[in-house]
Amino acid sequence: MKIWSHSLLKISLVCVIIGITFLSLMPPKSGIELGEHDKINHFIAYTVFSLNAGMLLENFRKHLLILPLLVLYGLLMEYCQGFVPGRSPSWLDALANTTGVTIGFILTLIYRKLNLDLFK
């Protein structure tokens, strides 16, 4: 992987983490509405999160090691919502987060198996 693409992935991962954290912990009356498809939004965000992390790691084993950390981050965000006025933790959101992390991991495996290089 070229150095510039690796740097862009790092920047992208930081943006994803900041975005997920901000959107997870902002009060519901903040003026930012993401629509009615809450579970789909959780799924997509955590799929992108897992894909991004997986693309940064050089091999399957490293991604497998951080997979529980990605899931724990999703669970932590749900737990912390219990401390935000007007928000509450949701097991269904936690499930959507975990499913997104898992699908992102699987997509990264497929990417590696097919030996694709998106950054040629």
HEC readout, 35-47: CCCHHHHHHHHHH
pTM given for the model: 0.85
CA distance to 14, 31, 65, 89, per residue, from 23 (Å): 14, 11, 26, 13
| Pairwise CA distance, residues 49 & 86, whole Å | 26
Give the single-character DSSP code of 83: G
Using one digit for the tens of pLDDT, what is the confidence trace for 70-109?
999 999 999 999 999 988 899 999 999 999 999 999 998 8
Among 38, 68, 70, CA closest to 51: 70
pLDDT for 47-73, tens place per residue? 999 999 998 887 778 888 999 999 999
| pLDDT 10s digits, 7-37 | 888 999 999 999 999 999 988 775 555 556 7
Q: Please state, in angstroms and as integers, the Cα–Cα distance from residue 62 to each residue in 47, 59, 77, 119, following that order.
A: 17, 6, 23, 21
User: What is the C-alpha to C-alpha distance for residues 6 and 28, in angstroms, rounded to an integer?
Assistant: 35
